[in-house]
Amino acid sequence: MEKERIKLTQFAKSAGCAAKLSPQILAEVVGKLPKFQNENLLVGVETSDDAAVYQISEELAMIQTLDFFPPMVDEPYTFGKIAAANALSDIYAMGGEPKLALNIVAYPHCLGADVLGEILAGGADQVKEAGAVLAGGHSINDEEPKYGMAVTGFVHPEKIWKNQGARAGDVLILTKPLGSGLVNTAVKAELASEYARKKVIESMTTLNKKARDVFQEFPIHCCTDVTGFSLAGHGLEIARASEVTLEILADRLPILPEALDYASMGLVPEGTYRNKRYQKPEILLESGIEEAMEDLIFDPQTSGGLLVSVEEKYADAILEALKNKEMETPFAVIGRVLTKQEAYIKIRKAGVEK
């Protein structure tokens, strides 16, 4: 098969993080597994955090994560960059520094060595940009190509960011635009504009390193990255673990170009419907929220941004610092943290006080 004619997405049933299993199935299965207790295990599965953290010494803890998925773009090199950025993001979401990465590869022989080489080159370049080292991996033959990484990072035990700890009065800051699932679906259907395709790739290939660097200068209460379970799903993880309610303002959300248009056209990934079925009962949507915006809020993100909860008094300084970092992606304050109410998340149409 000629490399020039290969479109990786033709081999994929789902795209990127939209390929995740249903959060309901995962909750049921993981809840039945044995509970492991160890005094050095600082972060485990209890709150569905982004990575596990194991303390090595008084000043050093190891962060361990892995992530892989089928392609959401046709270009092998770009796919490799996106998959690596997505895996590295879990380390940044815990406040850590990536140090070591291992490749995870499922690959059909028919695509040939050149295409695989480009995928791995894209991943290697992202690891290099992150300042980590790539030291091997594991591969299997598979009809559907999949790629990702197991990544190890380091963090001080007292400086770990978890997806719990949000406090009433905090503001919520998101560092990448939403809508990658919607745009990727439109791209696969050959209905997306070149501009929309360019912007979604730019977002997905951007490391969360700059955002992590900025947030490290402030007393962040909690952090997660927004990926396959959507803004709503990862927000729910924060709200449940912190026993608070998140108020999200739809008019403040950074959104990828044309994502809402594609939602209105019905170009919605299957993962959106899985997310809705499991998450919507605990979310209150204000009247007037259009269906396209609802689809965006439940849209599975691939290599999404960091979502942090921090005292409101630091918001302006953080936004200014992000601006000075020349962030490649838009960022915004998207809401605030309230004391626990009936719903874990309230989605309001606009930020007008009632």
Look-up: residue for tokens 């559907």? 144
Inter-residue contact 172 to 307 (CB < 8 Å): yes
Q: Active-site residue among 17, 110, 222, 223?
A: 17
Does the annotation flag 170 for ligand binding? no
Does the annotation flag 309 for ligand binding? no
Does the annotation flag 47 for ligand binding? yes
Does the annotation flag 156 for ligand binding? no
Name beta bridge partners: 249.
348
- Rounded to an integer, what is the distance from CA 227 to the centroid of its chain? 3
CA distances from 308 to 50, 156, 171, 336 (A): 13, 19, 8, 10
**Two tokens, residue 210:** 């700059």
Three-state SS string over 93-150 comes to: HCCCEEEEEEEEEEECHHHHHHHHHHHHHHHHHHHHHHCCEEEEEEEEECCCCEEEEE
Does the annotation flag 95 for ligand binding? no
Query: Is 110 tagged catalytic?
Result: no
| Nearest C-alpha neighbor of 184 from the set 59, 292, 302, 51 | 302
Phi/psi of residue 192, each to 5°? -90, 145
Does the annotation flag 225 for ligand binding? yes
Does the annotation flag 181 for ligand binding? no
Does the annotation flag 137 for ligand binding? yes
Does the annotation flag 295 for ligand binding? no
Catalytic residues: 17
Known binding-site positions: 20, 47-50, 67, 90, 137-139, 225
Known binding-site positions for ATP: 20, 47-49, 67, 90, 137-139
Known binding-site positions for Mg(2+): 50, 90, 225
